[in-house]
Amino acid sequence: MKHSLATRYGLLLAAMTAVIGCCVLLVNLFYLDRYARQSVETGQTHLSNAMTRQLIRDAELVASSLASNLDTAVYNHDFSAIQEQLEAVGSESHVAYTYIYDLNRRIIHDGSAELLHYGRPVSELLPAGITATLTAETVKNDRYIHVAHPIQSGGTTFAVLRIAITYSDAESDIQSFSAELAKESEHQRNNVIFTSLTVITVMLLMATLIVFALSQHLLRPVRWLAEQCRLYASGRTGIRFAVDRSDELGLLGEALEEMRRSISTSQRQVEQLAYHDPLTHLPNRRLFNEQLELLINWADETHSSLAVLFIDLDHFKQVNDVAGHEVGDKLLVQTANRLCNLVSGLGQQHKLPVPQEMLLSRLGGDEFVMLLPGISLHHELEQIAAQIADLLENTFTIDNRRFNVSASIGITLFPEYGHSTSELLKQADIAMYEAKHSGRKRHCFFEPEMNSAVVGKMLIQQGVRDAMMCDELYLAYQPIVDLSNDTIIGAESLIRWRHPERGNIPPDSFIPLIEKTDLIVPLTLWTLQRACEDLKRHILPHHPGFKLSVNISGATLKDQSIRARIQEILEQSQLPPDTLHLELTETSMVENISACADTLQEWKNSGADIWIDDFGTGYSSLNYLHSLPIDGLKIDRSFVQDMRPGSGNQVIETILALAGSMGLDTVSEGIETDLQRSTLSKHGCRYGQGYLFAHPAPLSDLLQLLEKESECESV
């Protein structure tokens, strides 16, 4: 009986011990599971916050750097340079969009080669919740970081860069890490259960101690990894995640270490992109400004001088247009190498007090800047500028092709003319443009009086850009008459600018400036579009057969997309044949006759006639007349003004005879006297225009003239 009771007590004790052991085991497993989950969640939270802050800093750094690199290109509306910069950033898979818009919040560039959204309000393209701000702004919206950064010149904002960077890849990495950590925790928990049950089966009284010891041993790497994650999230350097184990925790540690190295590599790449030009590996504008600031402080402390040389390649755009941007990039790399070799020689010759890496930078496009501390004598700087010009004038050989460019160089000095980075760079830039306007392959020292002239040109160029968007530009029409009876048979459309404060601005005050910038292309397209609308809606319905002439800039012939846009406007207008005349100068036509001939023929097939404007002033050979589909010639006003009674009119007579032999119509410009009209008519000129007949006037005045003429004919 005792044995039975003892057995039962033993069994009961064993059962109680087993129950207690199981309860202890379950309690330990519960806390073990909760601790593992908290470790995973804590590590995920800290890592996620660290990555988010790092991505925001990286996005702001990229936007700031890109805005600094783009200021000159956007300022000059150099779409090629803008496209080059945006392509370097837009090619990254994590960049959702890049927009550049002006102070009116309209798109200047959308990152595409076709400029699909040019002129559109940027608010139409931004996602909900994102505003078209004009100040620096960083917004985390959904899975994107949206950064806006002003583009400034001389401290003044004239455009804004907006870029969106997705952090979905980082979230995926975090989720993968969390899933892996949770999976490992689950695996370890199952091992603990199995091990604990086995130990309880063998020795119930030791179960609690074994479970506790085993849990401590198994969770130590997890706690260590979680602690490393917290330290990494706090920004501490030297953190490593590798675990000296061959099990799953070791694999997890290796995965975390690979992710850390990947993030470090991305940070180094962002820093390289932020401070160095990706093409030539020279310091970019951002690093240049920092280096210039350091050299200014050095020169100020040592009472020394500092020369800034702004180097711009002449005719580089022609290399890009003719040979392509790939060849242009190779030419820029060779240019950088030549300049680096020159800087190295100058450093040894003049014993310059700073490292060579600080002396040469590429600001963007074909613009380089050289810093020469301790050199202030004009004749020494002139010798160095001459060395640069001679070095860059030497032929460049690229892909077995030879290219020639030259350089215009602007020079300014600290402390004689400027005391800040922005002042010195602006002055060197102004001096460079003065050298370029003086004939290229020249150098020029900055003079204070250069500022006013440059500011005036800048105001004109910016004013035209604003005028296009504010409907301040309009078309004036100068009638073209039949010299035999003085009846109006057509008109020439001419751009005019009615400024809200300055009134009517003379065309010779802004058109020559615009022709030297990228604004001439959109201005030409605007003129053609408006002229076609006026002709179709207001003139032809009442005066069928009226002929309207529109001047087309030669710059449009150099870009296939622009040529196609002109043809699209012609086809959409659906004007009757022979009612629209497109006028181009002969110089622009003969630069590439074969390509030009195809383009002109396409325009003719769309219903337009092709006329040569200012004939006789641009090209010495007349062979191109047989190669191009020309319908008529406009005799330049200079020949008409030089006409003399009875003699001295051989040029006009020759032009009229040539046109007659080829079956071409002729229009003489600038007719101001009856003698000029009668002489031209006598020699066979059929049509003419000039102040003798009418001044350029708005469309309403032209319609009144046509109406009066119709009334006279009916009487």
**Residue whose token pair is 């009517």:** 504
Give per-residue pLDDT as tens, 97-114. Answer: 888 998 899 998 888 878
Distance CA 451, CA 427 (A): 8
Distance CA 417, CA 412 (A): 7
pLDDT band (50, 70, 90) for residue 389: very high
Distance CA 624, CA 589 (A): 9
Q: What is the pLDDT at residue 548? A: 95
Whether 3 shows a pLDDT value over 50: the answer reads no
Distance CA 524, CA 532 (A): 12
Give per-residue pLDDT as tens, 303-316. Answer: 999 999 999 998 88
Q: Is residue 141 part of a domain?
A: no
DSSP 3-state percent helix, strand, coil across the chain (nearest 5): 55, 20, 25
Q: Are residues 437 and 535 in the same domain?
A: no
Q: What is the pLDDT at residue 512? A: 75
Distance CA 263, CA 220 (A): 26
Q: Are residues 304 and 362 in the same domain?
A: yes
Q: What is the pLDDT at residue 191? A: 75
The residue among 589 and 682 whose pLDDT is bigger is: 682
Point out the domain boundary residue: 448, 465, 495.
Answer: 448
The residue among 435 and 28 whose pLDDT is bigger is: 435
Whether 1 shows a pLDDT value over 50: the answer reads no
Whole-Å CA distances, 472 to 80, 108, 135: 27, 19, 27
Helix residue ranges per DSSP H, 591-649: 593-605, 624-627, 637-641
Q: What is the pLDDT at residue 214? A: 62
Q: What is the pLDDT at residue 272? A: 58
Point out the domain boundary residue: 254, 275, 296.
Answer: 275
Q: Are residues 498 and 407 in the same domain?
A: no
Q: Which residues contact 96 (CB under 8 A, 6 or more apart)?
A: 144, 164, 165, 166
Give per-residue pLDDT as tens, 516-537. Answer: 677 788 888 999 999 999 999 9
Q: What's the number of domains the chain is made of?
A: 3
Q: What is the CATH number of the domain that holds 342?
A: 3.30.70.270
Query: What is the mean predicted confidence (pLDDT) over 369-389?
Result: 92
Whether 7 shows a pLDDT value over 50: the answer reads no
Q: Is residue 108 part of a domain?
A: no
Give SS3 for 52. helix
Give per-residue pLDDT as tens, 611-659. Answer: 998 886 655 456 677 778 899 999 988 888 877 776 667 888 888 888 8
Q: Which residues contact 509 (CB under 8 A, 6 or more apart)?
A: 460
Q: What is the pLDDT at residue 437? A: 77
Contact 221, 72 (CB under 8 A): no
- DSSP state at residue 283: B
Q: Burial of 506 by CB count in 10 Å (0-12 exposed, 13-18 middle, 19+ buried)?
A: exposed
The residue among 274 and 520 whose pLDDT is bigger is: 520
For residue 408, report the phi and psi dihedrals to the nearest 5 degrees.
-105, 135
Q: What is the pLDDT at residue 209? A: 63
Q: Are residues 439 and 489 in the same domain?
A: no
pLDDT band (50, 70, 90) for residue 218: low
Q: Is residue 157 part of a domain?
A: no
Top-confidence range, 179-183, 196-200, 308-312, 433-437: 308-312
- The string of DSSP codes covering 644-667 is -SSSS-HHHHHHHHHHHHHT-EEE
Q: Are residues 305 and 261 in the same domain?
A: no
Q: For the ranges 119-133, 188-202, 272-286, 641-655, which has the lowest average pLDDT?
A: 188-202
Q: Are residues 491 and 381 in the same domain?
A: no
For the record, the structure tokens of 146 come out as: 């949206």
Distance CA 553, CA 563 (A): 11
Rg (CA), the chain: 38
Query: What is the mean predicted confidence (pLDDT) over 591-619?
Result: 81
pLDDT band (50, 70, 90) for residue 372: very high
Contact 253, 241 (CB under 8 A): yes
Give SS3 for 248. helix
Query: What is the mean predicted confidence (pLDDT) over 553-580?
Result: 87
Point out the domain boundary residue: 275, 309, 341.
Answer: 275
Give SS3 for 108. strand
Distance in Å from the first CA to the final CA of the chain? 148
For the record, the structure tokens of 19 come out as: 């129950």
Q: For the ranges 185-199, 417-431, 551-565, 676-690, which has the lowest average pLDDT?
A: 185-199
- The string of DSSP codes covering 178-191 is HHHHHHHHHHHHHH
Contact 68, 154 (CB under 8 A): no
Q: Is residue 553 part of a domain?
A: yes
Q: What is the pLDDT at residue 4? A: 39
Q: For the ranges 72-76, 336-340, 465-469, 705-709, which has the lowest average pLDDT?
A: 465-469
List residues bridging with 294 in a β-sheet.
none
Q: What is the pLDDT at residue 361? A: 94
Q: Is residue 360 part of a domain?
A: yes
Query: What is the mean predicted confidence (pLDDT) over 428-456?
Result: 81
Positive or negative, the CA dihedral 218, 219, 225, 227 is: negative
pLDDT band (50, 70, 90) for residue 478: very high
Q: What is the pLDDT at residue 5? A: 37
Listed in order, strand segments (DSSP E) in 415-486 are: 443-445, 473-482
Q: What is the pLDDT at residue 611? A: 93
Containing domain of residue 65, as a range? 15-101+169-275
For the record, the structure tokens of 692 come out as: 């003798």
List residues bridging with 324 in a β-sheet.
none
Q: Is residue 48 part of a domain?
A: yes
Q: State the DSSP H helix or E strand holding residue 668, giving kind and residue range, or none if neither.
A: strand 665-668
Q: What is the pLDDT at residue 457? A: 65
pTM: 0.46
Q: Are residues 420 and 311 in the same domain?
A: yes
Q: What is the pLDDT at residue 617? A: 65
For the record, the structure tokens of 555 come out as: 């710059």
Q: What is the pLDDT at residue 620? A: 46
Q: Burial of 513 by CB count in 10 Å (0-12 exposed, 13-18 middle, 19+ buried)?
A: middle
Strands 687-688 and 306-314: unpaired
| Cis status, amide bond into 415, omega within 30 of 0 | yes
Distance CA 205, CA 670 (A): 117
Give per-residue pLDDT as tens, 71-107. Answer: 888 888 888 888 888 887 777 667 888 889 988 999 9
Whether 43 shows a pLDDT value over 80: the answer reads no
Q: Are residues 425 and 520 in the same domain?
A: no
Distance CA 234, CA 182 (A): 23
Contact 173, 259 (CB under 8 A): yes
Whether 137 shows a pLDDT value over 80: the answer reads yes
Torsion angle of alpha carbons 624, 627, 631, 634, nearest 10°?
A: -10
Whether 263 shows a pLDDT value over 60: the answer reads yes
Q: What is the pLDDT at residue 93? A: 61
Neighbouring CB atoms inside 10 A of 155's CB total: 7
Q: Is residue 229 part of a domain?
A: yes
Distance CA 110, CA 105 (A): 13
Q: Are residues 409 and 553 in the same domain?
A: no
Q: Which residues contact 676 (CB under 8 A, 6 or more apart)?
A: 640, 643, 668, 690, 692
The residue among 634 and 3 whose pLDDT is bigger is: 634
Whether 391 shows a pLDDT value over 50: the answer reads yes
pLDDT band (50, 70, 90) for residue 273: low
For the record, the structure tokens of 365 come out as: 């496009």
Whether 596 shows a pLDDT value over 50: the answer reads yes
Q: Are residues 443 and 311 in the same domain?
A: yes
Q: Are residues 427 and 335 in the same domain?
A: yes
Q: What is the pLDDT at residue 18? A: 66
Top-confidence range, 164-168, 220-224, 473-477, 634-638: 473-477
Give SS3 for 673. coil
Contact 428, 309 (CB under 8 A): yes
For residue 363, report the phi and psi dihedrals to the nearest 5 degrees.
-80, -20
Neighbouring CB atoms inside 10 A of 127's CB total: 13
- The string of DSSP codes covering 118-163 is TTSBGGGTSPTT----SS-EEEEETTEEEEEEEEEETTEEEEEEEE
Report the candidate in 313, 357, 356 with the shortest Cα–Cα distance to residue 334: 313
For the record, the structure tokens of 639 come out as: 């020949």
Q: Is residue 649 part of a domain?
A: yes
Distance CA 582, CA 532 (A): 11
Q: What percent of the chain is predicted at pLDDT more than 90?
A: 28
Distance CA 245, CA 230 (A): 21
Q: For the ranges 142-146, 539-543, 664-668, which has the lowest average pLDDT?
A: 142-146
Neighbouring CB atoms inside 10 A of 28's CB total: 18
- DSSP state at residue 497: E
Strands 406-414 and 306-314: antiparallel
Q: What is the CATH number of the domain that holds 646?
A: 3.20.20.450
Q: Are residues 181 and 225 in the same domain?
A: yes
For the record, the structure tokens of 465 come out as: 């850009």
Whether 6 shows a pLDDT value over 50: the answer reads no
